[in-house]
Amino acid sequence: MLNLIFLQAATAADGQQGNQWSFWIMMILIFVVFYFFMIRPQTKRQKELQKQREAMKKGDKVVTAGGIYGEIKEVQDTAFIITIAKDVTIKVSKESVFADAAEAQQESK
């Protein structure tokens, strides 16, 4: 496909106006496909995850990106203080915390 694009670009340089327009139309269509199938869904997931993190509060069960399960003890500006065992707390960045999937499944039942 890449060879086809370069071939069309080369023929457009030879003075064939029709091929030049088809080249640009194909490039625009490729961009549109990438946008709707890759870029847009990713930004939608990021916004949803950000809203979920902002909604987390004290007492919520969470999982860190490293796989540590715990319960939020305190919410700070950029971090959570999480209790992972009796008298064991850790400070974790908000970007590396996810809602506990098991808890979400129980709430939906």
Quick check: 12 and 19 in contact, CB under 8 A?
Answer: yes
Measured from the Cβ of residue 15, the count of other Cβ atoms closer than 10 Å reads 8
For tokens 């500006």, the residue is 77
Backbone angles phi, psi at 68, to 5 degrees: -90, 125
Least confident interval from 54-58, 95-99, 102-106? 102-106
Instruction: Output the pLDDT for position 14.
Output: 52
* pLDDT tens readout for residues 15-72: 556 678 888 999 999 999 999 899 999 999 989 988 988 888 998 999 998 889 999 9
Distance CA 12, CA 57 (A): 59
Backbone angles phi, psi at 98, to 5 degrees: -130, 155
